[in-house]
Amino acid sequence: MVRLTLVALLLMAAAGPGRAAEQGQLDSSPALFSVIAAINAAGYDADLASLSNSPLRARIRAHLTAHKPACLDDLKAFFAEHRQKSGTEELSQYVSFALATDGPPRFEFRFKEYLLPPDALPLAAFQPLLARFHKEAGIDALYQQAQPEFETALARYTAPASRAVLEVNAYLRHASSGVLGRHFQVYLDLLGAPNQVFSRSYGNDFYVVITPWPEPQVSYLRHSYLHFLLDTLATRHAEEVNKKKPLEDFALGVPALEESFKSDFLLLVTESLIKAVEARLAPASDRAALVDQALREGFILAPFFTEQLPLYEKQELSMRFFYPDMIKAIDLKRETGRLDQVQFASERAVRKAKPAPAPKPPEPSAVETTLDEAEGHYRSRELDQARQAFLQSLGQTDEKSLHAKAYYGLARIAALEKNPELAEKLFQRTLELNPDPQTKAWAHVYLGRLADAAGDRAQANENYRAALAVGEASAAAREAAQRGLRQGFTKEK
C-alpha cells in the first residue's frame, strides 16, 4: 500500500526523480513484518512486558500460537542456533536480513554475498525456512489485516517527520530535485521490542527502522536524514578530508566512541558535522552543552563545525558547495591545541535509564599494563618505544593469547616500517597463539592487505573471508574485510 502523505511526498522528493511510483518513503514493510513475525513465533521474547509494545505484537503472537505452522520446530531450532547476547543485537541481525532481501515470497538476497551486511550473512540459511513460514502461517493475510494499526502508527509520524525533513532541507539548502540515484526509506516495525531505532545503508539505499516508542522518534529520523544528505559530501571530497586525518589520533583513545568512527575518518568527520548542525537547530540555550557533549564523546570536529556554521548561514551557497572550503579551513595546529585540552568521556550519554553499575573490574596485570603502554606508543607512532614494550610483554607471561597481542603489535610495526616479509611472519605467528576474536580478525585483514599489495588477490580474499568467519569480530574488522573483498586494498599515498 502506497501512502502519499505530506511526509511521503517530501521524502520522495529527497529520493530523487522516478521514485514516486514506488513504495512510500514512510511506510511498513512486508519483508520486515514476515521476518519479525517469524522470530516472535520462534522464541524472540525481548521486552514482552513493556507497556510500549504495539498491541499488534501480542495479537500476532497469539495467532501464531493457535495456528502453529508446520515449520515451527525448524524455525525454533534455527532461532536458537543464532541467539545473540542481547535482545537488541538479536533483532538487529534480523532487521539487516529483512532489508537485504527482496521480500516475500522467496526472500532472496538483493546483493551478492560480499556486499551483504556482516550480521545478515550468517542468516542466509533462513531464506527457505522463512519462505515456508510465510506461506504456512498465511502472513500475506495477516499483514493486510494489520494495516489499520500501521495506518495509526504512521499517522503519528506524518506531521513531525514532515517538519524535520523540511527543517533539514531548509538548513542545508537542499534542492527539492533530490539526490539522483539515491533512496531514503523509513519503515515502522510494530512487531519488534519497543524503543529501538536501526539505520542501514546498502549502496544507494538508506533505511531507518523504528519500533514502537511512547513518542515519535523524530530526532533519530532527522539524524538519519542528515546522514543521507551529508555522507556523500565526505566521500566526494575524501582527498581533502583525509588531509586532516592526523586529528584522528585523538579519537582513537576515546572510550566512549564507537569503533566504527575510529576506523572510518570520513564517517567521524560527517558525524561531527551532524552533531554541529543538530546543535544549531536546537534552542540557543542548549547548543553549547550539546557541542561539548559531542566533543567529549569523541566527535572531535564538532566545535570547529559549530564555529563555521554561522559563517555558512550568512552566505548564500548550499552546504554542498560550502563544504569543500569549510574542510580546507580546518587548521591542524589549532585543532590539535584545542583537543589537547579535552577531557574525553569514558562512556556515551544514553537516553534511557542507566543500568546498575557493573562490579569494579580487577586491576590490570603487569603484562596488560605493558601492552597498554605499547599500544599508546604505537598510536603516537613512537615505534621504537612500542617495539620495546611489546617485546617486554613477551617475558612477563606464558599466556598464549597475550603473546598473540604482542606479536600482533610487532607485526603492525613491521608493516608501518615497510617490511612486509617480517610483518607477514608476525601476523601468522599471531594466529598460531590463540588470539582473542578481535586480534584474530584484524590479523587476517592485515594479511589480506599484504597479499593485495603483493598482487596475490586469491590469497587476499581468503584472508578477508577468514576475518568475516570470526564469530565475535568487531564491526570495524568486518567492515574492513568486506571492503577488501569488494575493492581490494590500496595504500594511501
DSSP letter for each residue of 410-434: HHHHHHHTT-HHHHHHHHHHHHTT-
Q: With a cut of 60, say whether residue 17 has pLDDT above it.
A: no
Q: Are 471 and 82 in contact (CB under 8 A)?
A: no
* 184-239 per-position pLDDT tens digit: 899 999 999 999 999 998 878 899 999 999 999 999 999 999 999 999 999 999 99
* 380-438 per-position pLDDT tens digit: 899 999 999 999 998 888 889 899 999 999 999 998 999 999 999 999 999 999 899 98
Phi-psi region of 138 (alpha: psi -120 to 50; beta: other; left: phi over 0): left
Place of cell 556523500: 232
Q: What separation in angstroms does the CA of 14 have from each of 8, 166, 185, 312?
A: 10, 10, 10, 22
Q: Are 474 and 260 in contact (CB under 8 A)?
A: no
DSSP letter for 123, please: G
List the Cα angle 183/185/190 in 5-degree steps.
165
The C-alpha atoms of residue 232 and residue 206 are separated, in whole angstroms, by 12
Residue of 326, 324, 340 lying closest to 247 (CA atoms): 340
Helices 147-172 & 265-281 angle (0-180, nearest 10): 90
The reported pLDDT for the residue numbered 112 is: 80
The reported pLDDT for the residue numbered 361 is: 60
The reported pLDDT for the residue numbered 7 is: 45
Query: What's the predicted TM-score (pTM) here?
Result: 0.65
In terms of DSSP bridges, do strands 183-188 and 205-210 run parallel, antiparallel, or are they unpaired? parallel
Residue 348 backbone dihedrals phi, psi, to 5 degrees: -75, 150
Which residues, 6+ apart, have CB-to-CB distance to 58 below 8 Å?
A: none
* 283-332 per-position pLDDT tens digit: 999 999 999 999 999 999 999 999 999 999 999 999 999 999 999 999 99
DSSP letter for 186, please: E
Q: With a cut of 50, say whether residue 375 has pLDDT above it.
A: yes
The C-alpha atoms of residue 380 and residue 95 are separated, in whole angstroms, by 39
Residue of 483, 482, 484, 383 lying closest to 121 (CA atoms): 482
What would the mean pLDDT of 70-94 be, rounded to a whole number? 95
Residues linked to residue 493 through DSSP beta bridges, in sequence order = none
Place of cell 570470526: 470
H-type helices in 253-379, by residue range? 259-262, 265-281, 284-296, 302-314, 319-328, 332-339, 366-379
* Domains, the chain, ordered by start: 6-210 (no CATH), 237-339 (no CATH), 376-487 (1.25.40.10)
Q: Which of 112-126, 139-153, 437-451 has the highest mean pLDDT?
A: 139-153
Residues linked to residue 186 through DSSP beta bridges, in sequence order = 26, 208
For 26, the 3-state DSSP assignment is strand
